[in-house]
Amino acid sequence: MSVFPKISLRLEVENYLKEGFLNKEVVSALGKQEAERKFETLLNHLSHPPSFTTVRVNTRQASVQHVKNMLLDEIQKFNGLSVPVLQHPNLQDVLLIPVIGPRKNIKKEECEVVVGAQCGNAVLRGAHVYVPGIVSASKFMKAGDIVSVYSDIKGKCKKGAKEFDGTKVFLGNGISESSRREIFSGLPDPRGIGVRMTEPVYLSLSFYNVLPGYLFLQNLPSTVVTHVLGPQPGERILDLCAAPGGKTTHIAALMRDQGEVIALDKIANKVTRIKQNALLLGLNSIRAFCFDGTKALKLNPVTDIEGEPPFLPESFDRILLDAPCSGMGQRPNMACSWTLKEVMSYQPLQRKLFTVAVKLLKPGGVLVYSTCTITLAENEEQVAWALTEFPCLQLQPQEPQIGGEGMMGAGLSVEQLKQLQRFDPSVVPLQDMDFGSLRDAREEDMVWLANKDCIGFFIAKFIKCKSTEKKDP
């Protein structure tokens, strides 16, 4: 059931998305009314969190069963919760934890805290409210007060305001850890928890510092990507846009930490985070570099620093391009203030990165392209472009196949669409999950729901059939 308004977008962006989802091929197949219904359903789902929290077990440290038992103990400590932890049948290193909610009978308190939209999204996935995310607090708020927390989805609340009557969405109640005076004291770089959530509208475990080294919090489709890539021990694999390192560390784990995983990102603090995650998870095969992926192809073989970017052509067995994208599939997301120009800016960058990836891939090698967005332009249109631009590439079926098939509209054949995976959360109704429904639910039904009610995501898998290097006559 919907408890939040649909995602708030600029009109130009919503019309652009609608044009993609109501393209001629889709309308011809479904009819205009059904295509419009599906699009509106999708916008509504994007503002709500998925029905399950997904964590990946670091199998280099412990067995899945052992970590599952430890996680059940942690959940018991968290408000005495009693919810199941499910091992995914097709993703053996993935555990699923149901999210309880929406809880509709929470009493709203007189004392209010307003947070920014990004902070609000995190609260809906189980986080507490940290001081930097607080925009406004009631003038009489003291540490220890029970407060109602709201998200300023339009970004209209003035920092430090004592009250806010604009558009705000109720996220639940918590206990303030600081007074209003302390939060807005003007001290540089305020830190720490500002409100500890005790009655959130959506109840899920906060995974901050829960079993570090054993678990990695990831969305379900993000774990599917690495299995589709299929890394093998001893291979040399490139993660072209790697931060924060979830997929990089997954690649290394599936290779049993044997071989070489090169991770690139052009932002230094993100590369530091990749290295920290590799260290935390005990993985030694990862080498992370601060480097622009669009420049990762070595044009002058004479200047060679062994093993560092840029790289020689056709020097990787497998490449993951989890491309920078508009991120329009992320959930929950109640508001996106991006302009149409910003949303459309990613397609050219993705093509630059894709071109580099093809040239760096060995003949016979595997290239997986993925995004966490829903646009036709960044997904199926990119596949159609790649197959035309690079005759050496062939689209491949994926294993495991958990998402739906690709969306019509880019001129791909029915067979080609079936080889893609598009995770579209609108295919199932929004869920009401409570302790009673969990007790009665069958495990296979819950896994099915977790596969459907996740973030919006896209995966395509290619194999390079022949060399792209020009041979000397």
Q: What is the residue-wise DSSP string for 155-202?
A: S-SPTTBS---SS-EEEEEEEESS-HHHHTS--SS--SEEEEEEEESS
* Share of residues in the chain with pLDDT > 70 (%): 98
Average pLDDT, the chain: 95
Cα torsion angle, 387, 390, 394, 395, sign? negative
The H or E element containing residue 361 is strand 361-371
Can you give the pLDDT at residue 76?
85
* pLDDT for 240: 98
Helix axes 246-254, 220-229, angle to 10 degrees: 40
Report whether 323 contacts 243 (CB < 8 A). Answer: no
The predicted model gives 116-124 an average pLDDT of 96
Q: Where are the beta strands (DSSP E) in 266-311?
A: 286-290
Average pLDDT over residues 269-291: 97
- For 108, residues 6+ apart whose C-beta sits below 8 A from its C-beta are 148, 170, 173
User: Which pLDDT belongs to residue 207?
Assistant: 85
Q: Is residue 261 within 8 Å of 285, Cβ to Cβ?
A: yes
Using the predicted structure, report yes or no on whether residue 442 has a pLDDT greater than 60.
yes
**Integer Cα distance of 460 and 356 in angstroms:** 17
Tell me the pairing of strands 52-57 and 94-98.
Answer: antiparallel
pLDDT of residue 472: 53
Rounded to 5°, the CA angle 191-194-196 comes to 130
Average pLDDT over residues 59-73: 95
Question: Does the pLDDT at position 80 exceed 80?
Answer: no
Question: Rounded to an integer, what is the distance from CA 54 to the centroid of its chain?
Answer: 11
pLDDT at residue 221 is higher than 70: yes
Distances (CA, A) of 194 to 145, 177, 314: 11, 5, 51
Distance CA 112, CA 110 (A): 6
Q: CB of 377 within 8 A of CB of 348?
A: no
Output phi, psi for 407, to 5 deg: -90, 140
Tokens standing for 376? 């036709």
Torsion region of 226: left, alpha or beta (phi above 0 gives left; psi -120 to 50 gives alpha) = alpha
Is residue 34 within 8 A of residue 22, CB to CB? The reply is no
Residues 6+ away with beta carbon under 8 Å from 203: 79, 81, 99, 100, 101, 103, 126
For residues 390, 393, 394, 397, the Cα torsion angle rounded to the nearest 10 degrees is -120
Question: Distance between the two ends of the chain, CA-based, in angstroms?
Answer: 66
* Annotated catalytic residue within 325, 372, 454, 465: 372
How large a percentage of the chain has pLDDT more than 90?
A: 89
Least confident of 87-101, 206-220, 365-379: 206-220
- Whether 34 has a pLDDT exceeding 70, the answer reads yes
The confidence score (pLDDT) of residue 304 equals: 57
Per-residue DSSP letter, 203: B
User: pLDDT band at residue 128, thresholds of 50, 70 and 90?
Assistant: very high
Helix (H), strand (E) counts: the chain = 15, 20
Tell me: pLDDT of 202 over 70.
Answer: yes
pLDDT in tens, 324-351: 999 999 999 999 999 999 999 999 999 9
On whether the CB atoms of residues 264 and 286 are closer than 8 A, the answer is no
Q: What is the pLDDT at residue 381? A: 98
Query: Given this model, what pLDDT does residue 81 score?
Result: 72
Mean pLDDT of the 12-32 span: 98
State residue 77's pLDDT score: 81
φ/ψ of 37, rounded to 5, equals: -60, -45
Q: How confident is the model at residue 256 (pLDDT cuts 50, 70, 90)?
A: very high
In this prediction, residues 356-368 reach a mean pLDDT of 98
**Is 372 an active-site residue?**
yes
The CA distance from 245 to 252, in Å, is: 10
Q: Read off the pLDDT of residues 282-314 as tens digits, 9 standing for 90 and up.
A: 999 999 999 999 999 998 876 656 789 999 999
